């Protein structure tokens, strides 16, 4: 479970060597991806009930508008 408090700073770009699926249980915000050079791309907004998938080694970061709860499941 990934809990983000209201007013939290942006969670910086990071990556995992495994694929993940995220389910937004509560809240809203923007997820950013990183390009080949490690720069942040335009963001994609998310809200309650959205699914977000990350392939292995996909750089991504979060910026939430309010208290947000995201369930993360490692895909196999």
Domains of the chain (ranges plus CATH)?
Answer: 2-74 (2.60.120.10)
Judge contact between 15 and 41, C-beta under 8 A. no
Whole-prediction pTM: 0.87
Task: Grade residue 6 by pLDDT with cuts at 50, 70 and 90.
Answer: confident
Distance CA 70, CA 25 (A): 6
Distance CA 34, CA 31 (A): 10
What is the tens place of the pLDDT at every residue in 20-40? 999 999 999 999 999 888 889
Distance CA 60, CA 76 (A): 19
């Amino acid at each position: 479970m990934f809990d983000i408090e209201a007013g939290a700073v942006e969670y910086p770009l990071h990556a995992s060597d495994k694929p993940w699926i995220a389910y937004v249980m509560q809240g809203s915000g923007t997820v950013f991806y990183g390009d080949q050079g490690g720069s942040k791309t335009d963001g994609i907004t998310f809200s309650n009930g959205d699914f977000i998938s990350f392939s292995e080694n996909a750089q991504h970061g979060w910026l939430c508008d309010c208290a947000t709860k995201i369930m993360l499941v490692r895909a196999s």
